[in-house]
Structure 1
Amino acid sequence: MSSGRKLLLTALRFDIESLRHLAASCDMVGDISRFIHALQRERGASTIYLASKGAQFAARRQTFVEEVSAAEALIRSRLEEFAEAPHPQATGRLLRRIATVWMALDELSSLRHSVESFGLSPDAATLAFNELIGGLLAIVFEAADTAADPDITRALVAIFHLMQGKELAGQERACGAFGFTYGHFDEPHRALLTRLTQDQNRCFDTFLEFAGSSVRESWETRLSPQTLSHIEALRDSASRADRGPSRRDARVSETWYALTTQRIDALREVEACAIEELARLCHLKISRAQQALEAARAPRKGASSAPGEQLLALTGSERLGDLTTSALTSPLGRSLIELTHAQSSRLQGLSDELENTRKALRERKLIERAKGLIMAHQSMSEEQAYRFLRKTSMDQSKSMANMAQSILELSSMLERKAP
């Protein structure tokens, strides 16, 4: 066997191994999706339980706690497998994300005890759940960022934005449950409700841009316009509510929770469809790579020498220039050139597609880093920092990514000049 063929077989085996590791990461994304959905249900029930001083959702919350505990056992097992044998593509950042989630899971029982004993406010409980869910979403983000295959990257980017949009819908459910249970929305909660709606739309727009046709079809068929219309009516009532004394009405909070839950459950079905499509794509890629490996292993019938050796044998006494000219002008030569151009264009298209996807991911990282810097130095909340960054970028006619880069560069320069 020639050295070139050995190298080809090694490359194909490496591709298969990489795809298998990527498929395992995608399986973990599916487990995270199911776990987040269970956590979202517990968070919503806990908010109403705390806001109503235990008068509502006590039994339902306990049911959700049991569901989360079952899902937690599976996710811990998955993370343990990953920790014992990290994938070759895993970065230090991804491993730190997983470690952070693991530590947050260890604190989950303490959080539940505080909810049970009314030891924290509804907003504080929501924030604690948000932090854990945010950490889980960060793992999905890192999986998308480290994927090398363009098609799988696109699918992961779509899933990440769908999961993030669904998480924002879950936060909206908790925020609305808080206000409707109290019978009153103060200005911060009204502003939060508005921002969560806007951010959801942005995430879902990106999801639809990257999702495949079957997943987009699932989106169109599973989400009920009537349910969203009722939610919009309640959103409008929350934004127009007067600022007088609270008027508690358990029926309104129950209606809000039921409608938003219907929507989130529908989003979960779309999410499951997207994850199933991702799994099929991974297995298809592996199957094709294995077929390519088998084809490369099979001996070529009727071939006594390698194509390169045959080509050299054809030269005879012909000068290289003459041979090149005849090869370029022959029908076979022209077809090979056309094939090469087609392959080159396809590879360039895949490269451009992957780079565009990675660019979107890099820009998101810049924005998140700049937002954290603003929060630290300006004593702002995450929402305030985001609004500040968006307004500043609009005032200076820059994209948010460019504005974030400028802020980070300025911070780095000031740190170097500091005594």
Structure 2
Amino acid sequence: MKNTIVKVIPGSIAEELEIEVGDKLITINDTVVKDIIDYKFLMADEYIVVQIEKINGELWDLEIEKEYDEDLGVEFESSILDKARSCSNKCVFCFIDQLPKGMRNTLYFKDDDSRLSFLQGNFVTMTNMKDEDIDRIIRYRISPINVSVHTTNPELRVKMLNNRFAGNIYERLKKLAEAGIDINCQIVLCPGLNNGEELIRTSEDLFKLYPAIKNLAVVPVGATKFREGLFPVTLYDRESSRKEIAMVSTLQEKYISIVDHPFIRLSDEFYILADLDVPPSEFYGNYEQLEDGIGMIRLFRDNINNTLKNLNKNATGSFTFITGTSAFKEIEAAAKRINLENSEIKIDTVKIVNRFFGETITVAGLLTGRDIISQVKEYALGEYVIIPRNMLRSGEDVFLDDITLNELENTLNRKIIITDYSGEDLIEKINNFCKEEK
């Protein structure tokens, strides 16, 4: 059973009722708790009866009066109280299929679970969902959910996902939208497949379901050097990126005139490849699509602008920023601005080429510890090395190749400073590790 309790939060209802680590949650209001969605829904009441199976096998029925949105205060063996559903597709652009052999097993698991979409923001294709799963989302008001659409053309979606059940996406999105479920959509754009007129069709179809479908994020297909035997994909370059930006801008202007925001947005990578500046801050609204790489450059730039005034003008120190190819110019520009503000703070920026996955992978979040170690040898590093949090596995201090942060620090003989990828805490971190001038 995945509903074994592994942590009891101090001061919680569970602690007060003497629920302990190792106990199991069986039912809430006589309903068996099958997964985290059941748990969240059934807990949303002011009076509940919880059945707990103690370690010794005793069953306790506990009557609880609480605030409507108050939780038991426990953590479970499995975050979703169930086994995560794996992806049943064989997408032509799948990044996991492009991983080399010999990496840790968890990297090869393709999740496609609507519960993880709700809890962690993961994107799902909805191909492994039954009609009752859709009905359950509606009944439990699971919202928002994040959906990888890629195209609303049924035949093309079946081809791109290599799944004969993939063609009914629009009907399912429409059902959710009509039920008031908020949806964020994503497209991995592949030249010659779902771009151009197909992208226009998809965007126009999805916009018909606005405001339930809140936004549409578009990211370019990525290819590692391990694509041998896989579907041949064409990568974006300067010319094709500019063409895509120009076409999408026409759609954006139309949507802005109707709903006062662009609805469809391209990831920063398109603008980097096109050698064009990213749109202004107001274009990105509340930056809801950052996880898709949309607006990261603009937000980083704005955060530097807003926090630079807090830089300690009487401090001295030396730092080395480490980043990927795509963000290098932006990070280097920020380093120069900081140095102009206080010339006693020396900052160098090092661009790491992704040799592990291949040079076509340019984002910092997919850099490995080994590439960093092998390429910084030729540089005179500052007292401290700064990297963004998204280089490390979520919630852990480990790179994609299992090099730990501690190993990197020992190898480089430098303290590694972790900052938010948005740059919001960068000036604060620099101040913390600088020294006051005498």
Is this a same-fold pair by TM over 0.5?
A: no
TM-score, scaled to structure 1:
0.23
Q: Which has the greater radius of gyration?
A: 1
Q: Which has the higher contact order (CA 8 A, sep 6+)?
A: 1
TM-score, scaled to structure 2:
0.22
Between Structure 1 and Structure 2, the one with more helix by share is 1
Between Structure 1 and Structure 2, the one with more strand by share is 2
